[in-house]
Amino acid sequence: MKPLPSRLKIALLSAGISGVVLIAFGAALWVLIYDLRIEAVDREIRTLGSRHPGLFAGRGNYERLASSLEFTFGQDFTNHVILLLKDATGRTTYTWPHWPAALDPGKFDLRSNDNSVSPPATPPPTNSASSLPRTEHGGGWGGMGRGFGMGRGGPPQDVVFTRTPRFFTAKTEDSVWRLGVLGNDEVTLALGLNQQEVEQELNRVRTAFLLTLPVALFLVGLGGWVVAGRALRPLTTIAETAEHLTARGLDQRIPESGDSPEASRVIQVLNRMIDRLEASFRQATRFSADASHELKTPLTVMQGELENALQSAAPGSPEQQLFSNLLE
């Protein structure tokens, strides 16, 4: 199998290494974006649950809750939010009418964490349960707009989630929901937001990355091809010069390359080698000329002597044959 040219190898290697780096970077970036978006959804769930605790006091307030959610998420709010309420005994007291049928609450652990958190030191927002006006209907815990559960006697109390929220993702065939479980010792709220927008955003990011990756690799490979061509140009010059070197063309030299110090050093070494070859060839030529000149006179004298001896020898004698062979 014929080996690949070095220029092509460098271009392919550059594209391969860049592809691995880009894929690793893209995967890390995708995970980071996913985590950030999930954290944003969790914060939205926590804020939404803390902002409307008094709206879950009784069924009469669920219409107010629906109006508030419609104001927050638009007319299509039923596809964006779901909720479920449980009392202290774990009994489900309310399920959102638009809770997905494929999302069975019994298959999920909807208990809040037992870890308690300190209530906020600053006053709750103006639209929280503590700022809602008192009513004459059930002025205690669970009164109209005051908190969770059924109304009962006693002074009014603020609704505060005292347990650490717990978040998880629940998937169905056609949707993905991010559920947060918030609560205290009296009530547990399971509030979920649709992750469709998050999934769509991540899919757009992934699609854009996959579409731009081949273009980026092509550009990197093209850049590697150009850089490799510039780096290997001195080798091409060396090969072309070496092809024209002959015994009568030893005066040629490889032109210096200022682009690469390594190539310049190789060219200098080769030029010095050609210098030595040229000097040796000239010395051999001069020696050959000197030797030819030194042998010319004695050979001429010997030729004359043999011709005289050949003429003096008897015809057909062995001496004549010997002188003839020496003369030849």
Residue 121 pLDDT grade (very low, low, confident, very high; cuts 50, 70, 90): very low
Q: Are strands 166-171 and 176-183 parallel, antiparallel or unpaired?
A: antiparallel
Q: Is residue 308 part of a domain?
A: yes
Same domain, 273 and 196: no
Contact in structure between 263 and 281 (CB atoms under 8 Å) = no
CB-side neighbour CA atoms (13 Å) of 71: 7
- Which of 184, 205, 226 terminates a domain? The answer is 205
Please check the confidence at residue 283 and state whether its pLDDT lies above 60: yes
On whether residue 252 sits in a domain, the answer given is no
DSSP class of residue 75 equals: T
pLDDT number for residue 156: 40
Residues 154 and 298 in one domain: no
pLDDT at residue 98 is higher than 70: yes
Residue 248 falls inside a structural domain = no
Give a yes or no: residue 280 inside a domain. Answer: yes
| β-pair type (81-87, 187-194) | antiparallel
Greatest mean pLDDT range, 23-37, 119-133, 252-266:
23-37
Q: Specify the range with the lowest mean pLDDT, choosing from 30-39, 56-65, 202-211, 286-295.
A: 56-65
In a 13 Å sphere around the CA of 281, the CA atoms on its Cβ side amount to: 13
Q: What is the pLDDT of residue 220?
A: 92
Residue 124 has pLDDT above 50, yes or no: no
The answer to whether residues 78 and 197 belong to one domain is yes
Give the mean pLDDT of 139-148: 34
- Residues 285, 187 share a domain: no
Give the model's confidence band at 130: pLDDT under 50 very low, under 70 low, under 90 confident, else very high. very low
Within-domain flag for 124: no
Give the mean pLDDT of 253-273. Answer: 77
Position 65 confidence tier, pLDDT thresholds 50, 70, 90: low
Backbone φ and ψ of 158, nearest 5°: -80, 145
Let me know if residue 253 belongs to a domain.
Answer: no
**Phi, psi at 237, each rounded to 5°:** -65, -40
Q: What is the DSSP letter of 86?
A: E
Same domain, 200 and 269: no
Position 53 scores a pLDDT of 53
Name the 3-class secondary structure at 50: helix
Within-domain flag for 67 = yes
Query: No. of H helices and E strands in the chain?
Result: 5, 5
Q: What is the mean pLDDT of residues 121-144?
A: 38
Contact 13/224 with Cβ under 8 angstroms?
yes
pLDDT in the model for residue 221: 92
Average pLDDT of the chain is 77
Please report where in the chains the tokens 């002597």 appear, as a residue. Answer: 305
What pLDDT sits at residue 182?
A: 87
Distance of CA 110 to the CA centre of its chain: 38
Q: Do residue 98 and residue 192 come from a single domain?
A: yes
Which pLDDT value is given to residue 258? 66
Is 275 in the same domain as 185?
Answer: no
Characterize 285-301 residue by residue with b for buried, 16 or more Cβ atoms within 10 angstroms of its Cβ, and e for exposed.
Answer: eeeeeeeeeeeeeeeee
Better-predicted residue by pLDDT, 121 or 146: 121
Q: What residue type is 277 in one-letter code?
A: L
* Structural domain boundaries, residue 271: 262-327
pLDDT tens-digit readout, 155-190: 444 456 778 888 998 888 888 899 998 888 888 888
pLDDT band (50, 70, 90) for residue 54: low
Q: What's the structural domain count of the chain? A: 2
Joined tokens for residue 34: 């996913």
The pTM (predicted TM-score) of the whole model is 0.59
